[in-house]
Each structure stands twice: as C-alpha cells, then as structure tokens.
Amino acid sequence: MTPAEIRERVSAACPGAVEEFQADLLDPVLRLRPDRLREVCRFLRDDPGLRLHYLRLVTGIDRPAAADSETPGGIDVVYHLWSYELRHGCQLRVRLDRANPVVETVSDLWPDANWYERECFDLLGVTFAGHPGLTRLLMPADWVGHPLRKDYARPERYHGLPTSRATVLAEGRAAEVAPAMHDTKAQPIEGYLRLNMGPHHPATHGVINFLLETDGEILKKATPDVGYLHRGIEKLAEQVGYVGTMPYTDRVDYLGAMFTNHGWALAVEKLLGVEVPRRAEFCRVIASELNRIASHLISTGSLAMDLGAFTPFLHWIRERETINDIMERICGARLTYNYLRFGGVSRDIDPETLDKIKHWIDHFEPMMDEFDRLISSNEIFVRRLAGVAVISPADAIAYGLVGPNLRASGVAWDTRRDEPYSIYPEFAFDVVTGRAVHGTLGDAYDRYDCRLREIKESLKILRQAMAAIPEGEARVKVPRPKPAANEVYARVEGPRGECGFYVVSDGTEKPYRARFRTGSFTAMTIIEHLSPGLMLADLVALIGSLDVIAPEIDR
Amino acid sequence: MNIIQHVANLLIRSVFHADPASWPWTWLVQAVVIGIAAFLAFAFVAIFAGPVSWIERRIAGRIQSRIGPNRVGPQGVLQWLADGVKCWLKEDLVPAAADRPLFLAAPYLVFTGMFGAFVVLPFGAQVVAADLNVGILYLLAITSLVVVGLLMAGWGSNSKWALFGGVRSAAQLVSYEVPSAFSLLCVVLLAGTLSTQGIVAAQGGWPWDWFIFRNPFMFAAFFLYFTAAIAEGNRTPFDLPEAESEIVAGYNIEYSGMRFLFFLFAEWANIWIMAAISAFAFLGGWQIPGIAPEQIAATKGWEFVGWQALSWTIFLVKATFLVFVVIQIRWTLPRLRVDQLMITCWKYLVPLSMLMVLGVLVLLALVPEGGGADTILRGAMVGLGLAVVLVSALRVRRTFRVDREHYREMEGRDLWYPPYRLP
Amino acid sequence: MIPEPVRALLFYLCAGLALAGGCWVAFARNIVHSAFALLATFAGVAGLYAFLSADFLAVVQLMIYVGGVLVLILFALMLTSRIEEARVSNPTIGLVPGAVVLIAVSALLVYACVKEFGGTTDLPPGEPTTAGIGDALLSRYVLPFEVISVLLLAVLLGAVTIAGGRLRKPAPGGKPGKERP
C-alpha cells in the first residue's frame, strides 16, 4: 500500500485525525492531531489491511518559534511504523506545544515505545501521559535541562564538577565531589536480593548496568540501566555538519562501523539525490561484508567466552586480525573506518588487497568447521543455550528486535533483500532464519547459530562481489553537501540488524536533526520482559546472544 | 619424627656440644627443626604450585593460538616467581566494610587445607612425609578446611557477589565430596587399607596391576573420581564459584595482592593434588614395573637412593600427565550452570559411584585374586585402556595432518618446528 | 618416640586451641565469628583425638564436624534473613549467674577427671583403630549402625522434601519456578 492509500484508509476510519499529509517529503508523513494519536495508532496496528506491528523509531524534534514568523514554537514527535507481513509503512507526526508538550503514550501498543518515549522525555522534555515509568534514560536522574532542545544551555556544574573544558583547565583538579547520581533504579522488591550487575562487568558487553532482583539464583526482574556511554552524538551531528558526522558514526557501533557509515552516507545521498558509481558500491559492499564477518566473529566468540569457553574467542580474534589488516589496507584504520563519503568511498580498493581478501576467504572457510567442532556441538554449550530465553516472533516484532535476533525467532526479514539498497539485489544469498536446531525456535542457541550461518552468507556475497567488481571511479565528488529541506529515513542491514538514520535537513550544511536507530537499543527493551524466571547464568547467555553493543544504545 | 630427631640430635651434638638425652633444651631444638621442616615443606608445595601455573599458562597459550609467558627466564619458567614478587609488593587492600578478621584469615585457611594434603602423598618408595594409617580419609578431611575457608572469604568480603561465590562454592565442594569419597572407597576396598603407601603397595608396576584396570567398575570409578576431583578444585567446567564472566571471580573479588595469590596458589596446588591422588590411587603411584617394594626396601646405599629417585620420577610423570589433562579440559570446555552442576552431582555421579562400590564389592567376593577370571578382566580392561589411548592418538594425528596440509598450502611453510625453536 | 616436652607442648597447643575456640564462640559479639571459632574448637578436639591415638576418630571429626556440621551452621547463619546486623548480634547477658554456673560446673568436671584418672599421663599405645571400629560396627553394633543409616535416609528425604516443596511453591509475586532439564 502506498502512503497515499494508507492516508485514505486512516482518514476513512478516523475522520478528522489527519491534519496534513506531507507528501512532498522523501518519506511522506501524516501529521495528526495530538489527541487522536492513540486512536490512529491503534487502528494502524490492528487493521487487517495495515497491520503495522513494528514501531521502528520515535523521534522528537525541537522546532522553536522562528524570530520573525508567526508560527508558534512546537516539538514534533515523529513515529516510524512498518509492517513486515504487508511490506509497507507509514510515518506519523504530532506537533506539540513547546511550552507544555504532552501526548499520550503508545507503549502499551508497541512495547519498544517504552524506552523511545523515555529517551524523548529525557532529551526533549516531552511528557507521555500514561507511560508506566517515565524517567530519564540516558542522562542522570537529577540532570537539569533537556539536551536536544535548540535553546539548551548546559548547566555550569554538576554535583560540583565543572562541565566545560575551559573551567576544568582553569580550576585544575576538582575537589571532593558527591558521587554522581545515575539513579534510574527500579523500586526494590521486598524479600528479594538486590544486586548490581555492572557497569563494570565482563559479561555486559560494554558499560551497562543491570539492576537485578533475585531469589537466590533465580531472577525476579532484571532492569537495564543505560546511559553510561551517552556522548550526545545526535546533538554533535547538528553542530559538526554532514561531513563531520561521518567519523562519529563509527563510534556509534564500533564493531560494525562500516554499516553506520553506509547508513549515514545513504541518508545524505538520498537527500542530495547523488548517484554513487558502481565501483564505489562494490567497494562498499566488500568492505561491509568483511566488517559483518568481523563483528559476528566477535559476538559469537564472546558469547562462548561469557559461558566459560575462553579458547574459541581467541581463535576468532586470530582470524579477525587478518580482517583488521585488510581493512587497514583499504581505509587506513582497523576499527573505526570512516571509509565512506557522500558519493562513494574515500579510497579505491587496489587489486592486491582484493587478492589478499580472496586468499583469506579460502583460508577461513575450513576454519568455520573447526570452530563448529570445537564449540557449537559441545554438550555443555548446547545445554547452556538451548531453550534459554525464547523470544516468540510476535514478541520480537513488538519489541522492535532486528537483525539476527529477529530472524532467529523465525521472522525472515533482511533489509538487504526486503528493502534493498546499494547493489545487494545483484547478489545471490540466503536470508538466515532460526532452525531450532537444539531446543526451541528463538532461543539463545538459534541466535548464535544464525550469526554463524550469516558469516557463511557474507562469504558468498564477498566472492560474488570480488568476481564482478567493475572498473570505474571510486567516488563522485560532492562539495559541501547542502541538501534542501527534507526528511528521510535510510536503513542498512548491519550485524546487529537494521541500522537506521532519520535525517531532517533544512538547507544548511548541518542537519537539523539526526537520529540513529540502532538494533541494540530495542534489544535492551526486551531483557526486562524476559528476565523473570531466568537464572543469573541465563541472563549472561541472553545478553551475549542478543549481541548488544553499549555505545549503540547510548549514542 | 625419627628424621627430625636425628637431625636435631646432630645439631645439638655439633653446635652445642651437648648430649641430647640429658640436655634440657633438646625439645626446643627439636621444635625449631620441626618448624624448619614445615617451612621446607611449604617451599616444596610452592615448587609444585608455581610451575603448574606456568604450565597452565603456556598450554593455554598454545591451545589459544598464542604463546603465553616467555619473557621472564628461559621460556618464561620464572614467570610465577615474578608474579609472586609483584604480589608481595602490592598494596594490601582490605575493604572498609569488610569483616576484618575473617577477611584476613580466609586465604590462609584455604591454603592450609591444600597444603595439609601434601603430607600423605606417597612420592616414592619410602618418600612420604607421614604415612598415616588413615591416609585417604585424612585427604578427604583436610579438604573440608577449604570449604570453611571459602565461606569465610565470601562472607568476610562483605559484598553480595562474594557471598554468592562463596556459598555456591561451598555447596559445590560439599556436594562433590560424596562421589569423590565413594570412588576412593572402591580403591580402599581393593587395597584393604586406608594408608596411602598401603594403597600403592597393593598395586604393581605393570599396567595390569594398577587398580584402574582391575575390573570395569574400577575403570569407571577412575573417571568418576577424576570428574569429582575437578569439581572439587573449582576448575572449568565446574568453575562457577570463580566464574569470571558471571560473578566476576566470586569469593576472590575483594582480594588483591598476596592474599589473592594465596587463593590461586591453593588452586594450582589442588590441581596437582587431584592429579597425584588419581595417580597413586588408580594408576599405580610410584610402583616400578618389575620390582616389588620389599626388594626396594632391602637395598642399601646408592642403589637404594637410585630406586627412590626412580620411583619418585615415575610418580611425578604420572601426576604431571594428569595435570596436563586437567589443564586441557579447562581451556576447552564451557562451564556448567549451577543447577546443571548440582544435577550432575546428585543425579548422575552419586548413584553411579554407589553402583561402582557395589560392583567392586560383588567382584571382590566372586572373583578370586590371581585366578582365570581375574586375569581375563584385567586383560580386557588393559585392552580397553589401550584402545582409548590409541583412538585418541590417531585422532590427534589425523587432525594434525589435516592442519599441516592446510597450513602448508596457505602459508607455504611447514607447521612443525623443533621444540628448541619455540618462540 | 615423641620426647616428653614436645608431647606436652602439643597437648597444650591442642587443648588451648579447643578452649580458646570455645571461649571465642561464647564471648564473640559477632555471631558469624562465633561460628568460625567453632572451627578452632573442632580442630583442637581432633588434635586431642590424634594425641590419644584415636586416628580414625580424629580424621572423622574433621570430616564430619568441620566439613559437615560447621558448614551447615555457617549456611544457616549466612543465608537466614533474620539476623539483621551480624556484627553485634550476640549480646552478653547474665554475666554473674553465668560465672557462677561456670565455676560450679568446671569444679565438678575437674573433680571427676582427677578422681577417675588420678594424674596418670600414660598414653595408650599407638595402634590403628580403623579395623577395630569397622569390625565392631559390623558385628557387635550392627543394629545401631543400620538404625542410624535409616535415620540418615529419613533426614535426607526430609531435607529434599522441605527444599523441594519450596521450589514448587510460586515465589512471592512471580511465576512459579520451572523444572530445568
């Protein structure tokens, strides 16, 4: 169904709810009346012809009143919705009064909206009426101000610590300060042991805190407490501009840096209407698939390490070293690549590097069998993962899981095949879904197994790409990108799933709003739902199998 | 005590020029000599615990495609000394809210538990610190000090994670003592004595005289004991109490410096002890093929010393081989979850080990020693053991060959390099 | 054999350890310290057994009392939720009546010991006792032995029932625990 048809259907079912249909945007948006939001959302989700079960993203955009115009200031909240079954989606927008932005929550319709709305509240000050626990998510609980507002002034001090570099340099070493309160703690439950897992913990894949209520070994609830790695990259993007944000996207997902680069480049290229040369697309795909393999190596290896098998991880690191060396030949860096540019890639891949890649693939494929023999069919490993933390397909979609997490639960959706971008339609590869090889469909073993098989699919794509790479230029120069005022949501399939970039441009060199949609963010939302009844060791297996990367969550 | 007395008398005669029988301070010198002997025994234990740590780290490196410590001393053999010195020099951190006496005393208790076990290990034909006539039972008893020590460490650290680790660990150790004791009971039944030297003397030098090959139940009992011993020693796959990735080292979490090293020390010494117990209880200990213990006892002078050295070497070789096996198991397998661990113990190991005791008893009653049936059983078991070893060796050879082919194809060089060119 | 002064030293060490442990158990403010001091008492008593050539009994004392009973007491102390503040949970009350009882009882015990054993210090010859105990348990005392085995079986079943029953009952406010394979 096209956006216009969706608009007709919505107008028919909820008359008067749609105030405006912004059809001239790259992704058409329905502007709704704020008090009709819930009604429309419920209709969109439940109508058999629409079935928009997947809430992709909730974004808040601050639009202060212009100095000269009469349009009052407001805060936009934009909802991106999608249906996996019917392959269509729509975008909604509500404009709220800037002085008192209140709108009803949709977290009971789509569970992943819970955290999205908390982030919106945290960074923009929007109140969501009816939200079960509207507290700050990324900033500390006692932070003053809403950072993503355009008129945000950073407080001078926080618990006695100066917040600007100049002050720090002027004053020298800070005196005794009270410990910062990052208090998003859930209420302790009587009779249960309250434990803190993190933020420094070997098994939490980054700096994440978990507040556990346990009855001995068995968890009653595990609440993730994030925000330790919040660096304000979205706000930084507004200040450094399109070109300057490219290296920052590396730091959003450091294990899949090529994909965040690609997503950002894709978004801006759509805004500019730039066509990328074929050779550059091939370079992008080759580098991306190598990066995907590297990321999956780390995630499967570290899952094994979290479960006590130290050796497979080190074998995978050994293999990944060669990928790092190849990447260094391609773009000069081993981890944070900053390889893509708008209109192509920064450097061409020379034939010698292609040879090295081919050589490495031939060496690596038998290694996968060795790895399987070592750990994948090990009785203890299987027992630890099979049947643990089963995620049903409906839950996976409702909680916004993407990537291998989603596919392991049986939903066969891969952005490379189903919302194609770049030259992926030219390659033949399978979309890997869970097979319930041990235990139930959608358990931790399936997620692990999916990643391993995805490595094989990436190897297939790499071979095809290297065989078909044409001659040509690696880049089309795009001087000083200044896209006209528009909005776009571009997504790529990263190792942690859909890596989406929602960019609002305003005709200048800097984006008006840059929003990153990452797979780990929504993966965290499901942990609290799954945790009752799990054992502590199972929680570790769950976090490892979801492959969360902390910087992706916090940005 | 005789040796102590002799040494003390010697000292008194030569240094103080007094007659030990009538000198009033004889007992003091003897006490001092006992103290020195204890210190030497401690150093002796260190000689075992330290190099085991080096062996473990080098083997771990090899398994993980890396090298392991190779800087301090040739091939890194002095790494453990360097670590020891470093830990001595570290700040002795005691958490402010910790229960101070318990926190400080716990590592020593754990260490005493391990250290005490060395006293009855029969290293050679006449070489045993104290041939207690309740040797095996003493071994089981002294390791219960370790349980109390771990609980002390967990509680004294005043940290929930430490308490988790300590309690889990105590539960695990106490549970796995049961199959361990039952398997050793099979050995005692066959040997007829609790004394460790007696158990070794009841076996012989040749493999078919070893207890492991006496009958199928003993064969299984060896593996049951080995598994239970690995669990007793908190080694992967049973290393939940020290699970680094879950509870961040459990009861160790608040310890640093030398106290921490004591725990590790005790763990490495324990690996050696489990291997040693398996070696002397099931694999014939120091028995030399072809010569009986009485004949060794009858020799004199340098020949006596030679036989002692040979028996010591044989015991060390057997125990060290089992140490290798324990280390390789650790770096290959993931760890069991705590309920899986308990289920393995109580639902599988305990009934199986009880079955082994029953089986050994039945066979002891039915099959006379030295008769035809006995020889058949022993022969069959030796055959089984040889088959297991052969199959493993062939498999390793096949994998090595495949890897060597692959390596030569990829790198153009040969995979094998002679040991003297180890990096 | 062991010379006389060393024997005396050993005896005083073991006895002192047992007594000191006992005192610490009674007088410690912190109940967990009391429990751990019990270790010293048990170890001292085991030493005394070894001193009296009761080798089997000494080792079994260590195994059962230290490795079993003490661990049980410690688990009960550490995992119970009723001891609010472990540090000062053992107040000393009734010092004067306690002292009176102490003096009276110890006078009685000392009198009984001195009267019965009359100052002799000869130790029994060091013979292994394991075989003798085993024989006695299976010939003369076989009925108590079997009855105790049945008692232990009943204890085991009771413990499993009580602990297992708690697992089946749903945890307060949560869903019931599941059986794990």
Q: Interface pTM (ipTM) of the complex? A: 0.83
Give the nearest chain B residue to A539 (CA atoms): B246
- HSE value, Cβ hemisphere, 13 Å, CA-based, for A386: 16
pLDDT in tens, A204-254: 678 888 888 888 778 888 888 888 889 989 999 999 999 999 999 999 989
Domain edge (last residue) among C58, C89, C120:
C89
What band does C170 get if pLDDT is binned at 50, 70 and 90? very low
Do B84 and B190 sit in the same domain of this protein?
A: no
- Residue B352, pLDDT > 90, answer yes
Q: Give me the DSSP letters along A452-471.
A: HHHHHHHHHHHHHHHHHPPP
Domain edge (last residue) among B62, B89, B116:
B89
Do B216 and B293 sit in the same domain of this protein?
A: yes
3 state DSSP class of A195: strand
What percentage of chain A reaches a pLDDT higher than 70? Answer: 96
Contacts of B26 in chain C (CB under 8 A): 3, 5
- Residue A185, pLDDT > 60, answer no
pLDDT in tens, C6-27: 778 888 999 999 999 999 988 8
- Please count the structural domains in chain B: 2
What band does B1 get if pLDDT is binned at 50, 70 and 90? very low
Nearest alpha carbon to residue A519 among A495, A502, A539: A495
Q: What's the mean pLDDT in B246-263?
A: 74
Q: Which is more confident, B148 or C121?
A: B148
Q: Report yes or no on C61 lying in a domain.
A: yes
Range of the domain at B81: 1-89
Do B85 and B105 sit in the same domain of this protein?
A: no
Q: Give me the DSSP letters along chain C.
A: ---HHHHHHHHHHHHHHHHHHHHHHHH-SSHHHHHHHHHHHHHHHHHHHHHTT-HHHHHHIIIIIIIIIIHHHHHHHHH-S--S-STT------HHHHHHHHHHHHHHHHHHHHHHHTT--PPPP----HHHHHHHHHTTSHHHHHHHHHHHHHHHHHHHHHHHHHHHSPPTTSPPPPP--
Per-residue pLDDT, B350: 94
Do B18 and B110 sit in the same domain of this protein?
A: no
What band does C132 get if pLDDT is binned at 50, 70 and 90? confident
Q: Report yes or no on B406 lying in a domain.
A: no
Quote the pTM value. Answer: 0.86
Q: Which two tokens stand for residue C11?
A: 């005896």
Do C6 and C74 sit in the same domain of this protein?
A: yes
Residue A491 to residue A555: CA distance in whole angstroms: 17
What band does B196 get if pLDDT is binned at 50, 70 and 90? confident
Q: Report yes or no on C107 lying in a domain.
A: no
Q: Do B336 and A378 touch (CB under 8 A)?
A: no
**Domains of chain A and CATH, by start:** 3-129 (3.30.460.80), 233-554 (1.10.645.10)
- Please count the structural domains in chain C: 2
* Chain C contact for B344 (CB, 8 A cutoff): no
pLDDT in tens, B354-404: 999 999 999 888 888 777 888 888 888 899 999 999 999 999 899 888 888
Nearest alpha carbon to residue A116 among A470, A518, A448, A477: A518
Q: Report yes or no on B7 lying in a domain.
A: yes
- Residue A275, pLDDT > 50, answer yes
Provide the number of CB pairs (under 8 Å) joining chain A to chain B: 80
Do C13 and C75 sit in the same domain of this protein?
A: yes
Do B221 and B119 sit in the same domain of this protein?
A: yes
Do B118 and B73 sit in the same domain of this protein?
A: no
* Chain A contact for B406 (CB, 8 A cutoff): yes
Selected for mutation to probe chain B from C9, C34, C62, C135 (highest B CB count within 10 Å) is: C62
Q: Report yes or no on C95 lying in a domain.
A: no
Do B329 and B216 sit in the same domain of this protein?
A: yes
Q: Report yes or no on C85 lying in a domain.
A: yes
Range of the domain at C148: 128-168
Give the nearest chain A residue to B335 (CA atoms): A308
Residue C123 to residue C119: CA distance in whole angstroms: 12
Do B253 and B337 sit in the same domain of this protein?
A: yes
What torsion, rounded to 10 degrees, do the Cα atoms B146, B149, B155, B158 define? -120
User: B117, B142 in Cβ contact below 8 A?
Assistant: yes
Query: What mean pLDDT is reported for chain B?
Result: 83
Do C75 and C141 sit in the same domain of this protein?
A: no
Do B15 and B147 sit in the same domain of this protein?
A: no
Q: Report yes or no on B417 lying in a domain.
A: no
Q: Report yes or no on B275 lying in a domain.
A: yes
Residues 6+ apart with CB under 8 A from B223: none
What band does C103 get if pLDDT is binned at 50, 70 and 90? very high
Q: Report yes or no on C101 lying in a domain.
A: no
Give the nearest chain A residue to B59 (CA atoms): A311
Name which of B334, B337, B406 is nearest A378 (Cβ-Cβ). B334
Q: What's the mean pLDDT in B94-117?
A: 84
Contacts of A218 in chain C (CB under 8 A): 171, 177
User: B130, B208 in Cβ contact below 8 A?
Assistant: no
CA distance C83 to chain A (A): 14
Per-residue pLDDT, C21: 93
Q: Is the dihedral of CA B294, B297, B300, B306 positive or negative?
A: positive
Query: What mean pLDDT is reported for chain A?
Result: 87
* Chain A contact for B245 (CB, 8 A cutoff): yes
Do C79 and C11 sit in the same domain of this protein?
A: yes
CA distance B117 to chain A (A): 29
Per-residue pLDDT, A490: 92
Per-residue pLDDT, C120: 65
Do B304 and B206 sit in the same domain of this protein?
A: yes
Q: What's the mean pLDDT in A296-300?
A: 93
Q: Do C174 and A383 touch (CB under 8 A)?
A: no
Q: List chains touching A (3+ CB pairs under 8 A).
A: B, C
- End-to-end, the C-alpha distance of chain B in Å comes to 47
Do B169 and B40 sit in the same domain of this protein?
A: no
User: Given the DSSP bridges, would you call strands A486-494 and A497-505 parallel, antiparallel or unpaired?
Assistant: antiparallel
Name which of B137, B140, B167 is nearest C78 (Cβ-Cβ). B167
- Residue B179, pLDDT > 70, answer yes
Q: What's the mean pLDDT in B234-261?
A: 72
Give the nearest chain C residue to B97 (CA atoms): C87
Do C83 and C11 sit in the same domain of this protein?
A: yes
Q: Do A533 and C174 touch (CB under 8 A)?
A: yes
Q: Do A315 and B331 touch (CB under 8 A)?
A: no
Per-residue pLDDT, C181: 34
- Residue B255, pLDDT > 70, answer yes
Phi–psi pair at A337, nearest 5 degrees: -80, -45
Selected for mutation to probe chain C from B137, B180, B339, B361 (highest C CB count within 10 Å) is: B137
Provide the number of CB pairs (under 8 Å) joining chain B to chain C: 88
CATH of the domain at C17: 1.20.120.1200
Give per-residue burial for B10-31: e unless 16+ CB within 10 Å, then b: eebeeeeeeebeebeebbebbb
Determine the residue type at B246. Answer: E
Do C66 and C147 sit in the same domain of this protein?
A: no
Q: Is the dihedral of CA A198, A200, A201, A203 positive or negative?
A: positive
Selected for mutation to probe chain A from B245, B327, B409 (highest A CB count within 10 Å) is: B245
- Residue C1, pLDDT > 80, answer no
pLDDT in tens, A365-404: 888 888 888 888 888 899 889 888 899 999 999 999 999 9
Q: Report yes or no on C26 lying in a domain.
A: yes
Do C70 and C136 sit in the same domain of this protein?
A: no
What residues of C are in the A interface, CB distance below 8 Å? 171-175, 177-178, 181
Selected for mutation to probe chain B from C7, C29, C31, C59 (highest B CB count within 10 Å) is: C59
Q: Report yes or no on C111 lying in a domain.
A: no
Q: Do C67 and B1 touch (CB under 8 A)?
A: no
Q: Report yes or no on C48 lying in a domain.
A: yes
Do C53 and C133 sit in the same domain of this protein?
A: no
Q: Do B170 and C75 touch (CB under 8 A)?
A: yes
Per-residue pLDDT, A399: 92
Do B180 and B65 sit in the same domain of this protein?
A: no
pLDDT in tens, A204-216: 678 888 888 888 7
Q: Do B134 and C130 touch (CB under 8 A)?
A: yes
What band does B420 get if pLDDT is binned at 50, 70 and 90? low
Q: Which is more confident, B414 or B156?
A: B156
Q: What is the side-by-side order of every strand in the sheet holding A29-32?
A: A18-22, A29-32, A88-97, A74-83, A54-63
What residues of A are in the C interface, CB distance below 8 Å? 189, 191, 215, 218, 220, 383, 387, 532-533
Per-residue pLDDT, A455: 93
Per-residue pLDDT, C176: 34
Q: Report yes or no on B321 lying in a domain.
A: yes
Domain edge (last residue) among B366, B389, B406:
B366
Q: Report yes or no on B388 lying in a domain.
A: no
Name which of C55, C59, C180 is nearest B339 (Cβ-Cβ). C180
pLDDT in tens, B23-49: 777 777 777 777 887 777 777 777 778
Q: List chains touching B (3+ CB pairs under 8 A).
A: A, C
Give the nearest chain C residue to B194 (CA atoms): C130
User: C20, C40 in Cβ contact below 8 A?
Assistant: yes
- Residue C119, pLDDT > 70, answer no
Q: Report yes or no on B126 lying in a domain.
A: yes
Q: Which region among A450-464, B80-94, B142-156, C157-171 has the lowest average model confidence (pLDDT)?
A: C157-171
Query: What mean pLDDT is reported for chain C?
Result: 80
Domain edge (last residue) among C36, C58, C89:
C89
What band does C84 get if pLDDT is binned at 50, 70 and 90? low
**Given phi > 0 = left and psi -120 to 50 = alpha, else beta, which region is B412?**
left
Domain edge (last residue) among C89, C114, C140:
C89
Q: What's the mean pLDDT in A458-467?
A: 92
Q: What's the mean pLDDT in A181-187?
A: 51
Selected for mutation to probe chain B from C1, C6, C90 (highest B CB count within 10 Å) is: C6
Per-residue pLDDT, B183: 93
Q: Report yes or no on B195 lying in a domain.
A: yes
